[in-house]
Amino acid sequence: DGGITQSPKYLFRKEGQNVTLSCEQNLNHDAMYWYRQDPGQGLRLIYYSQIVNDFQKGDIAEGYSVSREKKESFPLTVTSAQKNPTAFYLCASRLAGAGTGELFFGEGSRLTVL
């Protein structure tokens, strides 16, 4: 069953702790993306990667980090430097260079900072 899988679905973190959200896809897509979703603010791009071992900052990259060591995986680390990390995080992927291609989303990870 092809798709994009995010884990964990729910995560609680204490202030000052880093946390890593997992994103795995078996669609053979080159491009992967992380979005943050807050009520009334739509989907904002955190980081994206067009190819393995390369990634770029999106609109709200401060306080986040990513890696792209494998084509299938694009984990996102929410660091303690992120001032307001409580949010719903969505990972997505699509074919590289497919500017008009469908973006496939994972089911999301909801992070709550206590």
Partner 1 sequence: GENVEQHPSTLSVQEGDSAVIKCTYSDSASNYFPWYKQELGKRPQLIIDIRSNVGEKKDQRIAVTLNKTAKHFSLHITETQPEDSAVYFCAASSTQTGANNLFFGTGTRLTVIP
Binding site for partner 1 (CB under 8 A): 31, 33, 35, 40-45, 48, 50, 56, 58-59, 90, 97-100, 102-103, 105-108
Amino acid at 4: I
Cβ distance to partner 1 smaller for residue 12 or 101 = 101
Kindly state the greatest CA–CA separation across the chain.
40
Residue 80 C-beta: closest distance to partner 1, Å: 27
CB under 8 Å, gap of 24 or more: what pairs does 42-45 form?
43/90
Is the CB of 48 or the CB of 64 nearer to partner 1? 48
C-alpha 53 chain-centroid distance: 16
